[in-house]
């Protein structure tokens, strides 16, 4: 089984998990909106690093 499709699926699942987590955070936000927003943007930054690392890895 080639590694690349598996890695891509992992990124997609990670993105879905991040979106679901962000949705839950929005639902519970209340007074913590600013902290939640910075946390979400930080999470997406890590997701970008992870995706870039996978993209640049040799096939």
Q: What is the pTM of this model?
A: 0.30
Give the pLDDT score at 58: 63
Contacts 24+ apart (CB under 8 A), 38-46: 43/18, 44/18
Give the pLDDT score at 30: 62
Query: In this structure, is residue 16 part of a structural domain?
Result: no
- Domain range for residue 41? 23-59
Give the pLDDT score at 54: 76
Query: In this structure, is residue 45 part of a structural domain?
Result: yes
Give the pLDDT score at 47: 80
Query: In this structure, is residue 10 part of a structural domain?
Result: no
Per-residue pLDDT of the chain (59 residues; tens, 9 = 90+): 455 666 666 667 777 777 777 777 666 666 566 666 677 777 788 887 877 877 776 65
Query: In this structure, is residue 1 part of a structural domain?
Result: no
User: Which residues have C-beta within 8 Å of that of residue 8, sequence separation ≥ 6?
Assistant: 54
CB 46 within 8 A of CB 15: no
């Amino acid at each position: 089984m080639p590694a690349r499709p598996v890695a891509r699926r992992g990124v997609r699942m990670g993105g879905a998990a991040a979106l679901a987590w962000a949705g839950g955070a929005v639902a519970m936000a209340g007074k913590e909106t600013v902290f939640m927003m910075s946390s979400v943007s930080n999470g997406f930054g890590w997701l970008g690093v992870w995706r870039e690392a996978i993209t640049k890895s040799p096939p």
